[in-house]
Amino acid sequence: MKQNRADQLRIRLHNSAESVGNLLVEVFHYLALFAIGGMTAWAGTMEALEMIAKGSASIDDILLLFIYLELGAMVGIYFKTNHMPVRFLIYVAITALTRLMIADISHHNDPNMGVVYISGAILLLAVAVLIVRYASARFPAVQQNSKSNRVSDESHEGTES
């Protein structure tokens, strides 16, 4: 009888600790997402204000704004679906490599093997996007229960994890 009570107490304690732990993890999770989203919006705004103050925007500046846009979209999709859109990370990497290649060519005016390497890396990342899209369509990880949580195709589904 005492052992049964001890087991029940242990189970209740375990369930309570698990609930509190899950709550704390979710609170941290949302606070971190708000912080990342806020910092991304702030950085993008500051960059746009610098372009306005400068009176012009280079392709390098515009690509940086696209990086901020993709990061903001990642945060938004994660809020809506609770899934990390891996493709957006790849898109950020492609944009960053494109930005690097454009900056390298515009500053050195001498395309060299570095351009070929960066182009190859961009191609590899584009193939990775294709593979991830195919895999997420062919082998979905999660079935959508309601249309209210569904992110449209225009915003890249956001369902791969």
Whole-number average pLDDT of the chain: 84
pLDDT level of residue 114 (50, 70, 90 thresholds) = confident
Place of tokens 């990775």: 128
Say how far apart CA 105 and CA 122 lie, in whole Å. Answer: 16
Say how far apart CA 106 and CA 102 lie, in whole Å. Answer: 6
Q: Is it the case that residue 151 has pLDDT exceeding 70?
A: no
Sequence letter at residue 18: E
- Residues 40-69 pLDDT 10s: 999 999 999 999 999 998 888 888 998 999
Measured distance between the N- and C-terminal CA atoms of the chain, rounded to whole angstroms: 47
How many C-beta atoms lie closer than 10 Å to residue 145's C-beta? 8
Q: Is it the case that residue 97 has pLDDT exceeding 60?
A: yes
What residues contact residue 7 under an 8 Å CB cut-off, 6+ apart? none
Burial class (CB in 10 A: 0-12, 13-18, 19+), 51: middle
Is there a contact between 122 and 94 (Cβ–Cβ < 8 Å)? yes
